[in-house]
Amino acid sequence: MQKSPSTSSLGPGGLDIAQAFFKPIQNSAPPSPTKRHTKITVVGAGNVGMAIAQTILTQDLVDELALIDAKQDKLRGEMLDLQHAAAFLPRTKIIASVDYSVTVGSDLCIVTAGARQIPGESRLNLLQRNLALFSEIIPPLAKFSPDSILMIVSNPVDVLTYVAWKLSGFPTNRVIGSGTNLDSSRFRFLLADHLDVNAQDVQAYIVGEHGDSSVALWSGISVAGVPILSFLEKQQIAYEKETLEKIRKEVVNSAYEVISLKGYTSWAIGYSVASLARTILRDQRRIHPVSVLAKGFYGIGGGEVFLSLPAQLGRGGVLGVIDIHLTEEEARRLTTSAKTILEVQSQLGI
């Protein structure tokens, strides 16, 4: 399933037209060994996986894109649909298969596959089914691309990033969860909307669990370098903590609202993950709030837990976690968020 039937061998007796079409350059040298060929694998050809794949293609991030899914017909249909857009996209080799061997040599493996919750099913049972699914996904990815970076998008992302780390045997810097990167984008959008500025001029982070116990770092919010809360206090402009918490809850509920309206989320997570891929593959060393092994940072202890912290990303994966000053309340909430995730992890038995 790696490609659609080639039309390059339509000549008499199966002559390869590509060879006949071009006259070779005399005494040519092979390509430079320093030229890097980049490859991304996306596991899961659902709405999220294909939004990520489409965004990666339009942003010209890779030379080769591999798609993996258990549903062979849908997978081939998605591959063909993307291949047919070749005239409108940067040149990228697109391959797809149910066989993980097509992922060989990937620089970045993005996992979006996950079991869907059955009505009435407990969260723990859903996690156990996802654990079984990841047991079939992560080991072959690690086998065929032992030097790759794993990025987990499937939910619950923090727990499943921990699962992926355990199953892969990779060092912690090469296992990342998409975490609250999108939550932080939603946060910046809402703040920009309130302040009537461009969201790109707003610096703001949501950290902790990608979920109900997430933590908004209000003390670190700035617009064009101006700390917002300090500015309001200096100008003696009153604000209520309830208003701030309302905005945080609006961030948490944003995905639920989108799902209730269109059935799923896709485009925003597609852009979010593509931004992470760009930072990693092009070694941009930008700061993103992503799910990393948090033990030892910000006083988090008690066990190995993945949750979102502002981390510097680059070609080596997670390069470091930035030491942002937290208020006592923010630190307390972050610790509570870590405990929430650890409680769920402890029931998995891994």
Please identify every residue annotated as catalytic: 210
Question: DSSP assignment, residue 168?
Answer: H
| The two structure tokens encoding residue 337 | 């968020």
**DSSP structure class, residue 304:** -
Cα–Cα separations (whole angstroms), residue 212 to 158, 228, 237: 13, 24, 29
State how far the Cα of 200 lies from the Cα of 192, in Å rounded to an integer.
9
SS (H, E, C) 45-90: CCHHHHHHHHHHHHCCCCCEEEEECCCHHHHHHHHHHHHCCHHHCC
**Hey, is 296 helix, strand or coil?**
coil
Contact 139, 145 (CB under 8 A): no
Q: Tokens in use for 140?
A: 């072959």
Any residues with CB less than 8 A from the CB of 302 and at least 6 apart, and which?
338, 339, 342
For helices 72-83 and 47-58, give the axis angle rounded to 10 degrees.
20
CB neighbours of residue 265 within 10 Å: 18
Tokens at 284, concatenated: 């941009």
Nearest CA to 50 among 94, 6, 19, 7? Answer: 94
CA-based nearest residue to 210, from 47, 48, 341, 42: 341
Q: Is the Cα dihedral 228, 230, 231, 232 positive or negative?
A: positive
138, two tokens: 């992560």
3-state secondary structure of 231: helix
Task: List the beta bridge partners of residue 291.
Answer: 177, 308
